[in-house]
Amino acid sequence: MNPLNHVAIIMDGNGRWGLKYKKSRNAGHKAGLNTVEKIIKETIRNKIKFLTLFAFSTENWKRPKKEINYLFNLLENFLINRLEELDKKNIKLKILGVKNFSPKLNKLLNKSEKKTSKNTKLQINLALNYGSKFELINALKNLKKSKEKISEKNLVKYLQTKHIPDPDLLIRTGNTRRLSNFLLWQLAYSEIFFEKKLWPDFSEKDYNKILKKFKIIKRNFGNI
């Protein structure tokens, strides 16, 4: 059985789900948040220590302003209403990406990270305004400034994920087969599962089915 410490998820298909059911793209984002809560519970139940969720990429700023505002309002409300609960459940929240949002949201994100910083049951890494290419360029710049030798070991020290193990498993929903500038360095040896279902339709059963498949898959890491 393969050990499973870190699951990363590209939560794709919210907007398409909203349109498919003759609602709005925003209705899809709201439904997607329900799926997030279910998957967090299942991750804890499976004793997985790290869960990284790709919530908003650097490319997502190209979307309509109304949709972006709705997404950030959803996140604000979630943090306001659920922060105490996350803390009581011993969940740590970490933000990956550049925090250049509204002063209110930036303050909430900083407060959430600080309040949950000592929690140990599950660490949720929320990738917000995150782009892997930007992260890698920044890491290389900082490594060069440090005058340290350019090596894998030294570069990792300047990534935003420096204190987090690389994902063992990546799941992408929404019937799309690409990485979309997400954790390009960290996913080098991850097992990747592409799921046809749109994120709001992705169930606990679907999640557990993938986890079971992962645990019995043969992982060679370059060996025979």
Q: What string of pLDDT tens digits covers the 224 residues of the chain?
A: 999 999 999 999 999 999 998 889 999 999 999 999 999 999 999 999 999 999 999 999 999 999 999 999 999 999 999 999 999 999 999 999 999 999 999 999 999 999 999 999 999 999 999 999 999 999 999 999 999 999 999 999 999 999 999 999 999 999 999 999 999 999 999 999 999 999 999 999 999 999 999 999 988 777 76
How many domains are contained in the chain?
1
Give the pLDDT confidence score for residue 51 in this predicted structure.
98
Give the pLDDT confidence score for residue 218 in this predicted structure.
85
Give the pLDDT confidence score for residue 224 in this predicted structure.
62
| CATH of residue 24 | 3.40.1180.10
Kindly name the residue from 5, 60, 138, 142 that is annotated as catalytic. Answer: 60
The helix/strand/coil state of 12 is coil
Question: Is residue 146 situated within a structural domain?
Answer: no
Question: Is residue 108 situated within a structural domain?
Answer: yes
C-alpha to C-alpha distance for 75 and 52, rounded to whole angstroms: 16
Question: Is residue 123 situated within a structural domain?
Answer: yes
Question: Is residue 157 situated within a structural domain?
Answer: no
- What residue numbers bound the domain in which 21 lies? 6-130+167-216
77 tagged catalytic: no
Half-sphere exposure of 77 (CA within 13 A, CB side): 8
Residue 152 sits at φ, ψ, to 5 deg, of -55, -50
5 tagged catalytic: no
Show Cβ contacts of residue 56 under 8 Å, excluding neighbours closer than 6 positions: 71, 97, 127, 128, 129, 130
Question: Is residue 187 situated within a structural domain?
Answer: yes
Question: Is residue 150 situated within a structural domain?
Answer: no
Give the pLDDT confidence score for residue 23 in this predicted structure.
87
Give the pLDDT confidence score for residue 170 in this predicted structure.
98
Half-sphere exposure of 100 (CA within 13 A, CB side): 7
Kindly name the residue from 12, 166, 168, 206 that is annotated as catalytic. Answer: 12
For the chain, the maximum distance between any two Cα atoms, rounded to a whole number of angstroms, is 56
Question: Is residue 222 situated within a structural domain?
Answer: no
